[in-house]
Amino acid sequence: MTTEARVGEQDGRLTGALRRFAATRDPSLRDAIVVSQLPVVLALARRFARRGEALEDLVQAGSIGLINAVERFDPGLGYAFGAYATPTIVGEIKRHFRDRAWSVRAPRRVQELYLRLGPLVEDMTQELGRAPTIGDIAAETGATASDVVEALEARHFYQSQSINAPRANGTTLARELGGEDDGFEQADRRMVVESMLALLPERERVIVHLRFLDELTQSEIAARVGLSQMHVSRLLARSLAEMRSAYDLPA
């Protein structure tokens, strides 16, 4: 049997199966038709395989389109099933890209234009012998130059990269971002201490600051403010007691 004869026989079996399904709506017959047409889905999914999505996911999306095509196809209209099923399958694959593959949601018009640009730019590069300009792409697609720029920028929204993904320098973004800043833990305490200091007279506030922030000894503080060390010691003790009392802190 020639190749043409085998193809004709296969088409005849498919047409017959589609007519029987249209008449009976038998789920098992529908499943058999879908299985027989899965190679078509695979071939169509491979056209989109270099756009960042796993081929398995594209085949799954295309299979949904195939099921819908089988369910909706009317053999009585006289159209070939392939001519009806192909745009339905491709449409479902493109829907997958629009609805699931974007890390940051871009406007629908931008998504659709972005998906067109990949193969279009490759074809134009071969035809022109150079990379096409924004104007070239706009003229070819009928879009404005600003829409083309926006669609080209949309590649940054398409898939996000894990902060734990390896980088060219052998490290990860998570490591380069650094660790937790210990200063955050001290921020609330610092604000409380500042509010407590505000309760003290200016001289006592200066003495507490010199002792606990500048870490001077009582002798150094006494020399700085012109008081005796004993007087500085009594002022420190009284100031700390007032601060604890104001905030109901234990001694």
Please state the φ and ψ torsions of residue 166, each to the nearest 5 degrees.
-60, 140
Report the chain's mean pLDDT, rounded to a whole number: 78
pLDDT at 104 over 80: no
Residue 19: how many other CB atoms lie within 10 Å: 14
pLDDT band with cut points at 50, 70 and 90 for residue 163: low
Cα–Cα distance, 51 to 101 (Å, whole number): 10
Question: Distance (Å, rounded) from C-alpha 91 to C-alpha 72?
Answer: 15
pTM (global) more than 0.95: no
Residue 178, amino acid? G
What pLDDT digit, counting tens, does each position of 115-126 carry? 777 778 888 888
**Domains with residue ranges and CATH for the chain:** 3-100 (1.20.120.1810), 108-158 (1.10.10.10), 189-246 (1.10.10.10)
Dmax over Cα atoms in the chain, in whole Å?
117
Collect all residues with Cβ–Cβ distance below 8 Å to 172 and sequence separation of at least 6. Answer: 163, 164, 165, 166
> What distance in Å separates the CA atoms of residue 127 and residue 72, rounded to the nearest whole number?
40
Evaluate whether 81 touches 14 at the Cβ level (below 8 Å): yes
- Closest-CA residue to 37 (of 2, 76, 72, 11): 11
